[in-house]
Structure 1
Amino acid sequence: MDEEYDAIVLGTGLKECILSGMLSVSGKKVLHVDRNKYYGGESASICPLEELFTKFGAPAPDESYGRGRDWNVDLIPKFLMANGQLVKLLIHTGVTRYLEFKSVEGSYVYKGGKISKVPVDQKEALASDLMGMFEKRRFRNFLVYVQDFQQDDPKTWKDFDPNTSDMQALYDKYGLDKNTQDFTGHALALFRDDEYLKRPALDTIKRIKLYSDSLARYGKSPYLYPMYGLGELPQGK
């Protein structure tokens, strides 16, 4: 092992692996180390299961869990948007040649004590019980507006300034009821609370467009997931 390096990178999280790779490509001598037995840092996929239990100081799993090697548990479960920046980066850097991804089959919401599938096409939308027929028409008009929206073309804003007007005002403009607002903000834009309603609408519009563009990319779902967990991403780098 060499005694001198241009850079020492601690940890094998995704950011650290990207940094290490960029330094190496630029001709730098890099020492890349990790105190853990696994790749991925805080976003690792832990296998076998016994290692996960040890990490959290829990007793060893009993036989009801089956073989430990059959488990691959993400410390931070996270789906990838099919048209998101991370997927574009992975494609650009060629990492997708070494990793296998799977499209998530469906997305569901819990409402009124019932689990409902998020519709992905017009047929499913018409059959969905998430909103009434007239509300579906209003929601469709809203989605057409979002899909046609271009940040650098004010003509597509339709007399609504997304930089100064909040998201609640945009919902009101299209007459969307509270249930549809909740569905849009949490199932499509993926906000965890309602604070986004008070903020400029631009960010929410971008999020919904990303969902729509990701859905159009592979068909039945906007989400992708590495076959063997997110811990595969740093190893692919």
Structure 2
Amino acid sequence: MAELPPYPPIEPSEFDLVIVGTGLPESILAAAASAAGKSVLHLDPNPFYGSHFASLPPDDLSGFLDHPRPSSPDPAAASGGDDLAAASIDLRSLYSDVEISSFAPETLEQHSRKFSLDLSGPRVLFCADKAVDAILKSGANQYVEFKSIDASLVCDKGGNLVNVPDSRAAIFKDKSLSLVEKNVLMRFFKLVQQHFSGDGESDRISEEDLASPFVEFLAKMRLPEKIKSVILYAIAMADYDQEDKEACKIVISTKEGIERLALYHSSVGRFANAVGALIYPIYGQGELAQAFCRRAAVKGCIYVLRMPVIALHIDKESGEYRGVRLGSGQDIFSHKLVLEPSFTVPSSRGLLPQNSLMENAQVKAKMARGICILTSSLRPDESNFLIVYPPRSLYPEQVTSVRVLQIGGNLAVCPSGMFVLYLSALCDEASQGKKILHRAINALMNLDDSEISESTPASTVQTEEARADPLLLWRALYIQELTAGQVGTVSSTPMPDGSLGFNDALDATVKLFQTIYPHEPFFPETPAEDPEDDGALSVET
């Protein structure tokens, strides 16, 4: 472990809540607890905010993915006295099969600090989702600005990228839809709208239909295959092939499907400067965690970066958590402790109740993630857009969707004239996930599968100077574990999930907050502290 800089003692040394890690769930929790009047100490062993939700330059991101596992300290050295025992705390790696390729190292070195790459991309916010509401309600909107995503596209069975018709106007402007298809789609959207706004039972979709798989309901509505694919994978954002009952691990019900459809449509037009349903934070998604941290600091939360926790203090008699030993040697005591998901407490110590241990925190699945830096946009007239490759659209064995997000320099995540591409897909094994990402990259770059594959040397990409398509300057591919959080005297937050948005992460954070503080409101309603703050979200044109 690198030598820590000297730190003055933290005062006070007792808190209601200690949080380790400044990822988005931890930062929201810190802001909510501080707003509820709790004393909070928020620590992070890293020199930056965001943890697994951070936005980092390429070298820092590579270092975070390959972070060495530190040696466990001697618990006896952290003993807090006769009444307390020490439980060692350790870090586990939640990333594997990391593959970093730099095809133009001199160019990247020249601009390295101008990149802000999302560790858990692709990820955006729907204008009408709960995460945006939490940003507004907490006051974090004062510290972050957004731009809208210019377009959403989906790959059809012919391999063509077509626009997602996200509004009535978009449907009628869409030249890829026939008049019959437009009418069918409009009738379906009207049916969904009536379900949520209608007063009578005749306006609502039946309970039997709501409980049925969404794909079956769409078939019942006689929607063409092309429109079904758009609704399932580009609007409802289904992860697995809904038509394949054996391969589909998560079946979307009609109730879930129409709720996602309603969210998408209510997001269009919510903010005047947002051209579509989706927005993205300027400087990267790491700004969201920092915005909540700033809000927490205003409410009295104390922040210390570069400060690891090396051990827990446990009451010898009751076995309950009492406090932590910091890397600086100081002992801090608190009623509750929340750890980001990399931390584990070995259960063999027998010092904590079984349900409080995080050594074997549940690993739900794996997420294949990719980041590419390009010399130009994949679409000449657009900088920021989302692409969805539904299952089977890249190759027959593809059972999960691939989501691709391109972000340009106008969002301050890369130098002007360059673009960042984020890709993700759920997978069971690393080889499966890497294959999906490689196929998507090849399709986007107009390459044959043989041109850039798992075994292709970097020089192959560098010699494509005559190609009119964008050049690939840098690429990172890696597998991320999807772990669930745990709740107890010592709690943990979840890893970034496979969703495109932040609602699932927010739901998990709200549940954790309400478990820790069941009688406290999650961000109570308070008058605006700044009279000039109108409580709106800043979406730049």
Give the TM-score normalised by the residue count of structure 1. 0.88
User: Does the 8 Å contact 1:45/1:73 carry over to 2?
Assistant: yes
- Alignment partner, residue 113 of structure 2: 69
- Alignment partner, residue 234 of structure 2: 187
- Alignment partner, residue 204 of structure 1: 257
Choose from 210, 214, 219 the match for 1:163.
Answer: 210
- Alignment partner, residue 32 of structure 2: 22
Q: Distance in 2 between matches of 1:199 and 1:62?
A: 44
> Any stretches of 5+ residues in structure 1 without a counterpart?
none
| SS of equivalent residue, structure 1 residue 107 | strand
After superposition, the CA RMSD in angstroms is: 2.5
- Alignment partner, residue 214 of structure 1: 267
Q: Distance in 2 between matches of 1:199 and 1:18?
A: 28
The 1:191–1:200 alpha-carbon spacing in structure 2 relative to 1, beyond 3 Å, is closer
Q: Distance in 2 between matches of 1:59 and 1:37?
A: 25
Which is richer in strand?
2
User: How many pairs were matched up?
Assistant: 236
User: Does the 8 Å contact 1:163/1:200 carry over to 2?
Assistant: yes
CA deviations on 1:158-199 (whole Å, 9 max, x unpaired) are 556443333234213321022211111011111122338955
Please report how far the alpha carbon of residue 121 of structure 1 lies from its aligned counterpart in structure 2 after TM superposition: 4.1
Please report how far the alpha carbon of residue 10 of structure 1 lies from its aligned counterpart in structure 2 after TM superposition: 0.7
- Alignment partner, residue 129 of structure 2: 84
Q: Which has the larger radius of gyration?
A: 2
Q: Distance in 1 between matches of 2:206 and 2:101?
A: 61
User: Does the 8 Å contact 1:53/1:59 carry over to 2?
Assistant: no
The 1:145–1:160 alpha-carbon spacing in structure 2 relative to 1, beyond 3 Å, is farther
The 1:37–1:178 alpha-carbon spacing in structure 2 relative to 1, beyond 3 Å, is same
Letter in 2 for 1:115: L
Is 1:137 the counterpart of 2:183 in the alignment?
yes
The 1:236–1:158 alpha-carbon spacing in structure 2 relative to 1, beyond 3 Å, is closer
| SS of equivalent residue, structure 1 residue 6 | strand
| SS of equivalent residue, structure 1 residue 183 | helix
Letter in 2 for 1:171: L
Letter in 1 for 2:111: R
Q: Distance in 2 between matches of 1:129 and 1:152?
A: 31
Choose from 146, 149, 156 the match for 1:104.
Answer: 149
Letter in 2 for 1:234: A
CA deviations on 1:88-113 (whole Å, 9 max, x unpaired) are 11011111122111111111112212
Instruction: Name the stretch that deviates more: 127-136 or 76-85.
Output: 127-136
The 1:166–1:23 alpha-carbon spacing in structure 2 relative to 1, beyond 3 Å, is closer
- Alignment partner, residue 234 of structure 1: 289
> Any stretches of 5+ residues in structure 2 without a counterpart?
1-9, 67-99, 246-250, 293-541
Moved over 6 A (4+): none
Which is richer in helix?
1
Is 1:35 the counterpart of 2:45 in the alignment?
yes
Please report how far the alpha carbon of residue 151 of structure 1 lies from its aligned counterpart in structure 2 after TM superposition: 8.7
Q: Distance in 2 between matches of 1:172 and 1:115?
A: 23
Q: Distance in 1 between matches of 2:38 and 2:190?
A: 49
Give the TM-score normalised by the residue count of structure 2. 0.41
- Alignment partner, residue 165 of structure 2: 119
